[in-house]
Amino acid sequence: MNGWIFIDKPKDITSFKVIQRLRKILNIKKIGHAGTLDPFATGILAIAVGEATKSIHYFNQNKVYKFNVVFGVSKDTDDITGNTTDKSDIIPTKEAIDQCSRKFIGNHSQVPPQYSAVKVNGKRAYKLARTNQEFTIQSKNVFIKSLKCLEFKNNCEYSFIMECSSGTYVRSIARDIGKMLGTYAYVSELRRIKIGKIEEKDIILLDKFEELVHIGDHFEAMHSIRDVLDDIPAVLIDQELSLKFRNGLSFEYSNKKSENDYLLIETEKKFIGIGKFVDGKIKPVRVFNL
């Protein structure tokens, strides 16, 4: 039981609850996820099981979101679940939104929402916010590859699609677009539709996966570590070097790759682990017991 499961997270359930349920269904302790989804959000939740938990750090892919933004209202959570804090009669046009959206493309500094899992002096921001404590969240650098306003939904709501780096808060983007256009805004719907090469066609409903577990067919719904990390270049080695790598020893390797590049290390029969190219050698970083 070593691999990745890509669950279509239901609405109104936390990512942690999904993990808890899968841990119980699979009767396994080693399980984790790559990127939390807010409870009101749906879409791809990438879950690593067993030895795959060692590969979470390397599955740091761009994510694509579809979301709706309501203008003219602000929420304390920056999403539909929060309490209304301010209102404005200003509802921007699509042309104004398009001009504004272009300013977010590229490297972007954003402040995460007050209701987020970011730690402030060792405590989660959302816990401080719930108890009405005053605090400041430091801005963080993210990368926005694309951000487009798709269509006008109703008298104050627009739909968007965005591709961004891991760690980007969609709620912050909506809030900041509102501010830049002289009004307020919050996210009313949010769905993650892609992580790296993983798309909606690759995901499975939580209930459906549970059904497959009961009849023993769930392995077909799982993805191997090797398959999920296939954007990382691979190096094929023999059994002698394989033994050396497994024992934590580096070996000589000559190629044109940049220093500190990660590499998948494998033999003809087996995926062994992840190495790093340093000073003309491949140094073991992660070894998988598969």
Q: What span, in angstroms and rounded, lies between the C-alpha atoms of 256 and 47?
A: 34
Residue 213, amino acid:
V
Tokens 């691999």, residue located: 3
Do 162 and 65 meet the contact criterion of CB atoms below 8 Å apart?
yes
The residues, any chain, with a CB within 8 Å of residue 222's CB and separated by 6 or more, are 3, 4, 5, 49
* Contacts of residue 208, Cβ cutoff 8 Å, sequence gap at least 6: none
Question: What tokens does 227 get?
Answer: 């398959």
CA 136/CA 178 separation, integer angstroms: 20
> What is the DSSP secondary structure assignment for residue 289, as one 8-state letter?
-
Active-site residue 279, yes or no?
no
DSSP state of 230: T
CA dist 90 → 138, 155, 160, 178, 194 (Å):
29, 11, 19, 10, 33
d(CA 69, CA 73) in angstroms, rounded, equals 10
* Contact assessment for residue 162 and residue 146, using Cβ atoms and an 8 Å cutoff: yes
Residue 102 CA to residue 147 CA, distance in Å, equals 7
Listed in order, strand segments (DSSP E) in 126-180 are 140-152, 157-164
The one catalytic residue among 8, 12, 38, 202: 38
CA angle 180/85/146 to nearest 5° reads 35
Catalytic positions, written as ranges: 38
